[in-house]
């Protein structure tokens, strides 16, 4: 028995309802008995989507201390406390805690996708139980329940239809289909894709028209929605390129630091220094080598990028995603609601003697018609067709306070928009033409007809499928006159319909008849008017955005659950492929599971631009393949079916207006205006952020390396003075961080989107950057030590009387060298006074603030004492200023001569 049930439920669309009901031990008329429900709930579980257990606060906190640099900082703090260097240890510990707090709050607000999925399921459901229709919580549905659905309902479980009345289901969130799907009850073949199972309804979809009864076949995690939820759980978000690069960078830095600490320790012991003193020097060296403020600067630079994007209606949920955008080299975009408006509009009109494309703008009452020989807009065919769109229609469309109000079937709303764009007022026309009778569209007749009365005369309007409507027509309207419809004419119209349908448009045929019979609606001997092609139109600004993506070296793939002809049509209109270009459309039925892919199939997937009838699992597989080929993948989408791929992609991009909550929770960023061009804005900002990060990493590392060289050389030379750890921390967290933050505020180069994306494997710093920063550090360290030498020489010459100031001159000259060094991060070519750094107002604010802080510490005795600062004379200050400016000019000259980057 269990085997037969499992077999039937594995493909319920291929099993007759009566046989399915027998397998589920239920009755299609009366439903389940009350006493059966508890047992079935024990067997099948509650009808809700399970959510992953969220990480505890403690786990999140501990996760913030897993960085290699954090380990080194904590070790340095511990050693400082061990040697009773309370101030140094506390300062190091404070830096570590600040970084951890920022990371904690970032992660605390992430990962809510499963909760959003669960909320979608908590709706009432109407079921037949014990022969009585009753309303229950959807959580209590079980397989075997008889579900009653009507317009406006959310479908609460996967179910097999067995009785329908003009039923249409909006499944776009699950399948990507633009149009509501007409449903029927006939048994279908077993191997059909989800979008083609017209006798099934699925959890999370909506009833847009009609009513039905259906037999529940799957609940909870066994539903299609539940399987998507499971995919979201499994689709782990890979570390972003920036996170990977910072991790690699950290390991390199730690290795260098440990080696140098070992050298300094060894040199101290060889010089017979106390090992405690040697260890203290090694701690100072570790503090000098590690850019403690780097995490804070990176975080704040990314946050500033987020704020810039927010001004362009792009909300980024995860800081590291900002930089990921800059490295993105491929975008997998959904079609419905992303490239298109997710609205059904008339795209083309074909009447006898004229064929034209139209552009509907109902909001501004504007209709653009391409030129035709017979001037369609002035023809009687067009007049009747517009009237038919309005009268043979049960939807409504109004504009109130500049906003569109739509009620009814999306196709019928699209027809009303055509009439409204042409200046027709639906309420006025419906008032003039009194409706006497109506014959509704059914899956059997596939025709809708209405009978109207005006000025004592009757007129019939009809619309529907071409084949069925042509069978009821005897004439066609040509140049305002009914002309006999021949067999050749009929074949010609069918050829036209096939051609337009192959372009991905939904086709409706129209007819009318004037009649003296105002009592009976007789849909016969009609006069054929023509065809209307409807389409979910592309967004007007998408083509330009895609061109910008191409100029930036970013390729675009369309991935949709829609019909392949529709997908290709939209791809041609927006410029993903050229019109008429021989491009393969990869169908979901041709996409095996990932572990079964051949090398040729993988190559086809990588080269293809259009994927149609694709399932959520296949979207996930495609993203996986692209990532394995070292591509940084951006994935856009708005439906539940997009959520797993959005989470798996390097950067998931959800729509803010039409996007489902599930998609928005799974994504890394949300487009508030649903505008694809906003992605280009985000890509530009991402590139700017990475470029700025690279600049301030070079700046901070060259500064830190100069400190490291100074500490190492003084130790090797055996001098009696040294930089103190607290002084190094002051430099790194105050005078380094502020200019670095200002570098992060650079608006970027105007031509940044004309460059190819960075290779995924490209590190933050390339060899040329390492060479440059080493040269910078050597020059700065040389000038700092030069200032000490020179001041000591002046003391020996009697020019300066003060002695014992070597530490202060070392400390302050180093600060000034690093402050002026920020100007070397701009372009060395061209006018120095017009480069992106010199003209950056934030740089000047940062320098003034750093100097103000430096001046303030002298005025606060406890702080000055902690930093071991002593009063300085004018000659000493002149030495420090002169040697610090010397370091700037030497580096500038080296860069100007193009000796280094």
Q: What is the DSSP letter of 368?
A: E
Reading the block at residue 471, the tokens are 């069978």
Instruction: Using alpha carbons only, give the angle 826, 828, 833 rounded to the nearest 5 degrees.
Output: 70
Distant-in-sequence, close-in-space partners of 599: CB < 8 Å, separation ≥ 6: none
In sign, the C-alpha dihedral spanning 169, 174, 179, 183 is negative
Q: Cα separation of 514 and 460, whole Å?
A: 6
Q: What are the counts of helices (DSSP H) followed by strands (DSSP E) for the chain?
A: 32, 27
Reading the block at residue 276, the tokens are 């405690």
Name the maximum alpha-carbon separation found in the chain: 124
Three-class SS state of 155:
coil
604 is catalytic: no
Tell me which residue of 328, 343, 410, 345 sits closest to 636, measured CA to CA.
Answer: 328
Alpha carbon 166 to its chain's center: 36
Reading the block at residue 308, the tokens are 């810039």
| Contact indicator for 469, 509 with CB cutoff of 8 Å | yes
Q: In this structure, how many other beta carbons lie within 10 angstroms of the beta carbon of residue 686?
A: 28
Selecting among 145, 334, 668, 736, the annotated active-site residue is 334
Task: Please report, for residues 287, 432, 725, the alpha-carbon distance to residue 732 in angstroms, rounded to integers and kept in the order given.
Answer: 9, 81, 11
Strands 555-559 and 610-612 turn out to be: parallel
Q: What is the DSSP letter of 212?
A: E
Distant-in-sequence, close-in-space partners of 291: CB < 8 Å, separation ≥ 6: 697, 700, 701, 704, 732, 736
Alpha carbon 238 to its chain's center: 15
Q: In this structure, how many other beta carbons lie within 10 angstroms of the beta carbon of residue 487?
A: 7
| Contact indicator for 292, 729 with CB cutoff of 8 Å | yes
Q: Cα separation of 348 and 535, whole Å?
A: 9
Give the residue carrying structure tokens 């060899």.
Answer: 767
Give one DSSP letter per residue of 429-497, joined into a string.
Answer: HHHHSEEEEEE---TTT-EEEEEEEETTEEEEEEEE-HHHHHTTEEEEEETTEEEE--HHHHHHHHHHH
Reading the block at residue 888, the tokens are 């700037």
Tell me which residue of 222, 236, 235 sits closest to 50, measured CA to CA.
Answer: 222
Helix H or strand E encompassing 26: none
Q: Cα separation of 329 and 550, whole Å?
A: 10
Which phi and psi angles does 64 have, rounded to 5°?
A: -75, -10
Q: How many CA atoms lie within 13 A of 82 on its CB side?
A: 11
The DSSP bridge partners found for residue 450 are: 438, 461
Q: Cα separation of 235 and 617, whole Å?
A: 10
| Contact indicator for 677, 274 with CB cutoff of 8 Å | no
Tell me which residue of 163, 169, 155 sits closest to 224, measured CA to CA.
Answer: 155
| Contact indicator for 430, 370 with CB cutoff of 8 Å | no
User: What residues act catalytically?
Assistant: 334
């Amino acid at each position: 028995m269990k085997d037969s049930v499992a077999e039937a439920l594995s493909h319920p669309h291929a099993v007759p309802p009566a046989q399915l009901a027998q397998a589920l031990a239920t009755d299609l008329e009366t439903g389940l008995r009350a006493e059966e429900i508890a047992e079935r709930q024990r067997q099948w579980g509650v009808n809700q989507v399970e959510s992953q257990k969220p990480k505890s606060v403690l786990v999140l906190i501990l996760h913030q201390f897993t960085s290699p640099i954090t380990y080194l900082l904590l070790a340095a703090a511990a050693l400082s406390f061990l040697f009773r260097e309370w101030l140094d240890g506390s300062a190091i510990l404070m830096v570590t805690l600040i970084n951890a707090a920022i990371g904690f709050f970032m992660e605390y607000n992430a990962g809510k996708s499963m909760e959003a999925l669960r909320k979608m399921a908590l709706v009432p459901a109407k079921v037949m139980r014990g022969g009585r229709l009753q309303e229950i919580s959807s959580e209590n549905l079980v397989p075997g329940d008889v579900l009653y659905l009507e317009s406006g309902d959310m479908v609460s479980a996967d179910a097999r239809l067995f009785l329908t009345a003009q039923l249409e289901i909006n499944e776009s969130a699950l399948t990507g289909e633009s149009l509501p799907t007409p449903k029927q009850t006939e048994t279908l073949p077993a191997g059909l894709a989800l979008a083609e199972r017209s006798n099934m309804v699925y959890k999370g979809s909506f009833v847009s028209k009609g009513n039905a009864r259906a037999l529940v076949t799957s609940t909870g995690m066994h539903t299609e929605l539940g399987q998507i939820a499971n995919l979201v759980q499994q689709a782990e978000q890979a570390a972003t390129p920036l996170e990977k690069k910072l991790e690699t960078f950290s390991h390199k830095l730690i290795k260098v630091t440990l080696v140098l600490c070992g050298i300094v320790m060894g040199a101290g012991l060889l010089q017979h220094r106390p090992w405690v003193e040697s260890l203290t020097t090694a701690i100072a060296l570790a503090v000098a080598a590690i850019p403690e403020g780097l995490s804070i600067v990176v975080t704040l630079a990314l946050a500033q990028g987020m704020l810039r994007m927010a001004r362009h209606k792009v909300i980024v949920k995860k800081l590291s995603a900002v930089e990921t955008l800059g490295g993105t080299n491929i975008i997998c975009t959904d079609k419905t609601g992303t490239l298109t408006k997710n609205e059904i509009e008339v795209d083309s009109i074909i009447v006898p003697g004229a064929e034209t494309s139209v552009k509907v703008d109902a909001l501004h009452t504007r209709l653009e018609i391409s030129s035709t020989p017979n001037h369609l807009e002035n023809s009687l065919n067009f007049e009747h067709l517009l009237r038919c769109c309005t009268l043979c229609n049960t939807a409504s469309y109004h504009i109130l306070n500049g906003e569109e109000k739509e009620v009814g079937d999306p196709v019928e709303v699209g027809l009303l928009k055509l009439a409204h764009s042409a200046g027709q007022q639906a309420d006025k026309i419906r008032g003039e033409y009194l409706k006497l009778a109506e014959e509704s569209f059914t899956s059997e007749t596939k025709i809708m007809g209405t009978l109207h009365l005006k000025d004592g005369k009757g007129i019939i309007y009809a619309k529907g499928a071409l084949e069925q409507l042509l069978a009821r027509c005897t004439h066609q309207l040509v140049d305002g006159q009914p002309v006999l419809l021949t067999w050749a004419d009929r074949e010609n119209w069918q050829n036209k319909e096939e051609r337009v349908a192959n372009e991905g448009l939904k086709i409706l045929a129209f007819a009318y008849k004037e009649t003296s019979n105002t009592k009976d609606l007789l849909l016969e001997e009609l006069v054929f008017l023509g065809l209307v092609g409807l389409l979910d139109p592309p967004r007007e600004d998408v083509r330009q955005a895609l061109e910008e993506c191409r100029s930036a070296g970013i390729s675009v793939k369309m991935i949709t659950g829609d019909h392949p002809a529709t997908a290709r049509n939209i791809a041609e209109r927006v410029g993903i492929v050229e019109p008429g270009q021989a491009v393969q459309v990869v169908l979901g039925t041709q996409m095996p599971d990932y572990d079964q892919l051949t090398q040729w199939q993988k190559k086809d997937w990588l080269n293809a631009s259009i994927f149609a009838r694709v399932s959520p699992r296949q979207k996930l597989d495609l993203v996986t393949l692209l990532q394995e080929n070292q591509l940084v993948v951006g994935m856009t989408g708005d439906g539940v079916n997009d959520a797993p791929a959005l989470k798996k992609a390097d950067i998931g991009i959800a729509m803010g207006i039409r996007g489902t909550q599930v998609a928005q929770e799974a994504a890394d960023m949300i487009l508030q205006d649903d505008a694809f061009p906003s992605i280009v804005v985000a890509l530009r900002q991402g590139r700017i952020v990475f470029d700025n990060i690279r600049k301030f990493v070079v700046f901070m590392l060259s500064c830190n390396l100069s400190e490291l060289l100074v500490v190492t050389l003084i130790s090797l030379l055996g001098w009696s003075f040294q930089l103190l750890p607290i002084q190094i921390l002051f430099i790194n967290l105050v005078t380094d961080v502020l200019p670095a933050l200002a570098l992060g505020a650079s608006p970027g180069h105007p031509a940044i989107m004309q460059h190819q994306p960075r290779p995924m494997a490209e590190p933050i710093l390339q060899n040329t950057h390492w060479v440059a920063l080493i040269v910078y550090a050597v020059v700065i360290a040389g000038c700092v030590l030069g200032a000490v030498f020179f001041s000591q020489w002046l003391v020996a010459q009697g020019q300066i009387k003060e002695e014992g100031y070597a530490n202060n001159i070392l400390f302050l000259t180093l600060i000034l060298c690093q402050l002026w060094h920020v100007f070397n991060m701009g372009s060395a070519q061209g006018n120095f006074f017009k480069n992106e750094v010199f003209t950056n107002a934030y740089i000047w604010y940062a320098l003034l603030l750093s100097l103000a802080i430096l001046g303030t510490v002298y005025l606060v005795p406890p702080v000055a004492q902690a930093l071991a600062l002593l009063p300085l004379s004018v000659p000493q200050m002149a030495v420090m200023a002169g040697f610090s400016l010397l370091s700037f000019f030497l580096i500038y000259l080296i860069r100007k001569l193009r000796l280094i980057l």
